Structure 1
């Protein structure tokens, strides 16, 4: 079965090649395409045709790990409104920072990691923004004076800048500062109240 290489469509969570790629990333903090093809039992040409290049596969792996971490954190999610969104983003960032494979990926393959995690051409950026939009509309409603996706993009960039601060300025990450700024960005009166049961 051939994947449609549409970056808006995640690989299936039970995809056998994705599972091998996740195990390799958790072990090595990296994806070697030749080794991945061998361990998955398919040819490299088939791997590229069905799954795309290494950046695409890395993006899918990081996204799958992000979703797994978010699912584990869901029961501990107590915030509402802007506070809740800032809390959710902060917990996601901390989960990534505490993952040895992710730390190795970012420190040993910095250029690739930044490209995979922040490029508008990759799979992660658009999915993170879409997830923030969904949270915004659920928790605080539509912003009154700006497109929701544009505001979500700004929120994502704030989170990224503090998550990657060590790479940018040499200073350690500061998730608390990111949370304060995100709360301020999202502290608005919505166009209409959120349609949810309290």
Structure 2
């Protein structure tokens, strides 16, 4: 009886990230081959392509968000907005991601905005942490971090993915004004 090759979820996500950065997508057959596992084993580990794409997109976005946070110099509401600006620029410059949005808009929407990919919930949690850190500024103390994070992320998503959602280019200035209004109302 041939032995089965075991691969960890972490290794699959790493392989998925590398594949995505080269090809702006994830082909499950090709990824399974590159990891030297069967397609069945790959699906047993990640459960679905959408879930793997969600893990890959989150891993790559989290790196950009972490760097944006490190580079941010402002504090409070201005710091939150600066982090978002830096992150948005990095996302718009991420050519594999932009190519994925153009090539697979339905999959991208499902993975980014629904539980199928799990990206949105992770982005909201990350934003909640950003807001909590910004609340250390005595000039700003949001009462409802969960609500503020959710609304804030939806505004940012509407700007980042305007072409995907509405077929129109994003308006970062209007989005930032709306995001500031949400933060200041909390």
Same fold (TM over 0.5): yes
CA distance in 2: counterparts of 1:126 and 1:133, whole angstroms: 11
Shift of 1:152: 1.1
CA distance in 2: counterparts of 1:112 and 1:39, whole angstroms: 23
* Alignment gaps of 5+ in structure 2: 1-5
Q: Is the 8 A contact 1:82 1:182 kept in 2?
A: no
Q: Normalised by the size of structure 1, how large is the TM-score?
A: 0.81
Task: Tell me, yes or no, if structure 1 residue 154 matches structure 2 residue 151.
Answer: yes
How many residue pairs get aligned? The number is 177
* Alignment gaps of 5+ in structure 1: 4-10, 190-198
Q: Is the 8 A contact 1:29 1:105 kept in 2?
A: yes
Q: Normalised by the size of structure 2, how large is the TM-score?
A: 0.86
Shift of 1:71: 3.2
1:85-104 to 2 correspondences below 5 Å: 85-104=80-99
Residues 97-127 of structure 1: CA distance to partner in whole angstroms, max 9, x if unpaired? 1111001100110000011111144321111
Shift of 1:155: 0.8
Alignment partner, residue 163 of structure 1: 160
Alignment partner, residue 17 of structure 2: 22
CA distance in 1: counterparts of 2:166 and 2:125, whole angstroms: 28
Shift of 1:128: 0.6
More helix by share: 2
